Structure 1
């Protein structure tokens, strides 16, 4: 998924969470934590793999569920210590949504190829072959997920998600915008 798709998914999920949990739209700090959390895995993995050569791929260390478990503990510890649990939760929701959004649609159809990153370094990349199928999904899953295996449909879907998220962010009062403006010297 592209950065705008990750941001769209993360903001939609966190905005729904904030409404359900607090009965209001996101506050500025958590909204900014969603922005950072939605990109965090790529901000670590891509440079370390592509520019420095320390990682085997652009989806390995920070895309791993093992890393996510440690990150969750560290972020919540910091959130509790600083009195920013809501912001920590926003970051974690955004980070986990990034990992889920990077799972190829074919995985939901039983083809696990390119999902190895979730268990890096326990699984090498690649472990699964492209045509290897581990399970047969229900017909309704094939019906819903099938169109998203087409790259053009998937990219269009990302833009739609991003557009819906931007519209919701606007309806929410553009949380985070004034926060940033107030901290930029004139």
Structure 2
């Protein structure tokens, strides 16, 4: 998924969470934590793989569930210490949504190719072959997920998610904008 897709998914999820948990839209600081958390895995893995060459791929260390578990502990420890648990939660929701959004749609149809990053370094990339199927999903899953295996449809879907997130962010009162543009503080 591209950066705008990750941001779209993360903001939509966190805004829904904030409304359900607190009965209000996200506040500024958690909204900014969503922005950072939605890109965090790529900000670590891509440079370390592509520029420095110490990781095997742009989806390895920071995309691993093992890294996520340790990161969650650290983020919440800092959040509790600073009295910013809501911000920590926003970051964690965004980071986990990044990992979920990077799972190829074919994985939900039983084809695990390119999901090895979730358990890196236990599985090398690639471990699974492209056509290897581990399970047969229910027909309804194939009906819903099938179209998203088309790269053009998936790419368009990312823009739809991003557009929906921008619209919701606007409805939410543009939280976080005041940090960038002080004249817009509400």
Runs of 4+ in 1 over 4 A off after TM superposition: none
Give the drift of 1:119: 0.1
Distance 1:152 1:98 in 2: 20
Q: How does 1:25-40 map to 2 (within 5 A)?
A: 25-40=25-40
Structure-1 residue corresponding to 2:146: 146
Distance 2:121 2:93 in 1: 23
Q: Secondary structure at the match of 2:134?
A: coil
Distance 1:20 1:179 in 2: 25
Structure-2 residue corresponding to 1:108: 108
Q: Secondary structure at the match of 2:55?
A: coil
Give the drift of 1:182: 3.5
Structure 2 unaligned runs (5+)? none
Report whether the alignment pairs 1:99 with 2:99. Answer: yes
Distance 1:180 1:122 in 2: 41
Q: Scaled by the length of structure 1, what TM-score is found? A: 0.97
Q: Secondary structure at the match of 1:62?
A: helix
Q: How does 1:12-161 map to 2 (within 5 A)?
A: 12-161=12-161
Give the drift of 1:180: 2.7
Give the drift of 1:175: 0.1
Structure 1 unaligned runs (5+)? none
Structure-2 residue corresponding to 1:6: 6
- CA deviations on 1:64-107 (whole Å, 9 max, x unpaired) are 00000000000000000000000000000000000000000000
Report whether the alignment pairs 1:170 with 2:164. Answer: no
Distance 1:118 1:62 in 2: 9
Let me know the Cα RMSD of the aligned residues. 0.9
Distance 1:68 1:162 in 2: 24
Give the drift of 1:179: 2.4
Distance 2:181 2:59 in 1: 33
